[in-house]
Structure 1
Amino acid sequence: MNTLDITQLQKAVGVKADGILGRNTLTAVFQKLGANPARATELALAANVHLETYSIKTQLRFCHFFAQLAHESGNFRYMEEIASGTAYEGRKDLGNVNKGDGVRYKGRGPIQLTGRANYRKYGQELGIDFENNPTIVALPSVGMLVACKYWSENNLNVFADYDDVTTITRRINGGLNGFDDRKNKLSMIKGWFK
């Protein structure tokens, strides 16, 4: 994002318009999207590092990323899926092959990482044993890292560049659950840059 984009965003979220997308601005973004102050601060600390690392730094990429995560996490209020996870029991497509895997590997983090196979894959790629310690994905800072890695691994920056909310939603959700809410959040966040 250029300085003008960042300044517009800062005005929209009510922080000093200095043109620097840093921790304070990101904290305000998370709060405006619904996170409590403590969670917003923790998410922002991680995002401040990882958005740059994973090239989520253009206006469209930023808007799509935050819209999808806000939907998945109930506006950053939930870092662990509210449902028990029993609906994922026996889902071989998620790698849930052992009894209890559905509950153990239910959605966590702002992107709601789900399934033994995903916990194994992203844990191995990030050098953290998520498979044997799945609840750590619910830590906001760890969950933000996972979200950025998932975004990158699924080439979602490319689809954000094309403003393709449908493909992004399918790659995150597996379908189009909550599609209207995702589109509404995307429109709202895009409006912050005007």
Structure 2
Amino acid sequence: MNLTPQIIAAGCGAAPSRAALFAPFMQLACDHYQISTPLDVAAFLAQTGHESQRLLYTRELWGPTPAQRTYEPPSQKASDLGNTQVGDGERFCGRGLIQVTGRRNYTLAAVGLDLDLLNHPELLEQPEHAAMSAGWFWFNNKLSALANAGDFVTLTRRINGGTTGLADRNALYDAAKKALGVGA
């Protein structure tokens, strides 16, 4: 499927300039990770658009907020994320278009993307790696099956851990389907 900047702008809710910047990398990620059916691509665009706030951010905004403080050991959340050292919460904060988070996910992504993410987590902030990490996450979490089945709520839970922003994600999903010529 040919992802034009116009399709990406519609599906991600992004400004044309951001869509144009990310278009070749989103295409590469979809091709490499077999995100190919219209429903799959629509869901991928909607979820990445929401998670990155319309392709504006490739790094989690850090306060730290009370929730972000739980990324630090010795909390259960830190353990779930594989964060074992003081400072891991901020060091391995969400990055990429789907916000890869935690030492464990960075370790897995480093292998999958052949990048030194443990020493250079900021690599996921670059547009190419931000898009490829989203494709890698999508593929490794078998999200295409959920997207193709139309199970957008379960797909959202796999990405977000809940349904935060579901209304916005659904609006982007509808816009992506329309841009791809898929019936709503």
Same fold per superposition (TM over 0.5): yes
Establish whether residue 89 from structure 1 lines up as the match of residue 94 from structure 2. Answer: no
Match of 2:161 in 1: 174
Establish whether residue 78 from structure 1 lines up as the match of residue 61 from structure 2. Answer: no
Q: Tell me the CA shift for residue 156 of structure 1.
A: 0.5
Give 1:99-138 correspondences, 5 Å limit: 99-138=86-125
Which amino acid counterpart does residue 53 of structure 2 have in structure 1?
Answer: G
Residues 93, 100 of structure 2: 8 Å contact kept: yes
Which amino acid counterpart does residue 83 of structure 2 have in structure 1?
Answer: N
The count of aligned residue pairs is: 171
**Greater length-normalized contact order (CA 8 Å, ≥ 6 residues apart):** 2
Residues 7, 176 of structure 2: 8 Å contact kept: no
SS in 2 for 1:52: helix
* Superposed CA offset, 1:61-100 (max 9, x none): 0110001111100011111111335432221100111101
Q: Tell me the CA shift for residue 31 of structure 1.
A: 3.5
> Identity over the aligned pairs, expressed in percent?
36
Match of 2:38 in 1: 59
Which amino acid counterpart does residue 66 of structure 1 have in structure 2?
Answer: L
SS in 2 for 1:34: coil
Residues 84, 103 of structure 1: 8 Å contact kept: no
Q: Matches of 2:16 and 2:24 in 1, distance apart?
A: 14
Establish whether residue 42 from structure 1 lines up as the match of residue 29 from structure 2. Answer: no
The answer to which of 166-175 and 183-192 deviates more is: 183-192
Residues 9, 16 of structure 2: 8 Å contact kept: yes
Q: Output the TM-score relative to the length of structure 1.
A: 0.82
The answer to which of 80-89 and 94-103 deviates more is: 80-89
Which amino acid counterpart does residue 62 of structure 1 have in structure 2?
Answer: V
Q: Tell me the CA shift for residue 45 of structure 1.
A: 1.6
* Superposed CA offset, 1:22-75 (max 9, x none): 5xx1x22334421461x4333212122221121111110011000111110001
SS in 2 for 1:175: coil
Residues 28, 132 of structure 2: 8 Å contact kept: no
The answer to which of 162-171 and 86-95 deviates more is: 86-95
Residues 42, 141 of structure 1: 8 Å contact kept: no
What's the RMSD between the two structures over aligned residues? Answer: 1.7
Q: Matches of 1:63 and 1:190 in 2, distance apart?
A: 5
SS in 1 for 2:145: helix
Establish whether residue 30 from structure 1 lines up as the match of residue 4 from structure 2. Answer: no
